[in-house]
Amino acid sequence: MDEKLMQFLQEQFDKIDEKFDKIDKRFDQMDKRFDKIEERLDKVEQRLDKVDERLDKIEAKLSEHDKQLIIIKEQTAMNSEMLSIIEEHGRRIYNLETDVSVVKKALRS
């Protein structure tokens, strides 16, 4: 009877070993899947890093453009003031030319 019991136990242990082997295989498969997922996540992270770098460059360019726009606005304001002054001088010169013409006519007569 001992032999039968030993044989039975051996068969049960073999079955348990087979089940553990199956479980090990499944875990290996899961590990491989997780490795693939990890690789994909690493690629996504690299892409996001590149996007961050590009966004930083764009932000720097926008900041520079903002500075240039401020300069352009200031120059436009100055040009508007200068144009107003130039137009005023133009009217004065026109009036002076008119006055000079009147004086010349008066002297000729």
Could you write out the DSSP letters of every residue in 19-81?
A: HHHHHHHHHHHHHHHHHHHHHHHHHHHHHHHHHHHHHHHHHHHHHHHHHHHHHHHHHHHHHHH
Gap between the Cα atoms of 23 and 31, Å rounded = 12
Distance, first Cα to last Cα, the chain: 157
- For residue 68, report the phi and psi dihedrals to the nearest 5 degrees: -65, -35
- Specify the pTM: 0.54
Over its length of 109 residues, how does the chain's per-residue pLDDT go in tens digits? 688 889 999 999 999 999 999 999 999 999 999 999 999 999 999 999 999 999 999 999 999 999 999 999 999 999 999 999 999 999 999 999 998 888 888 888 7
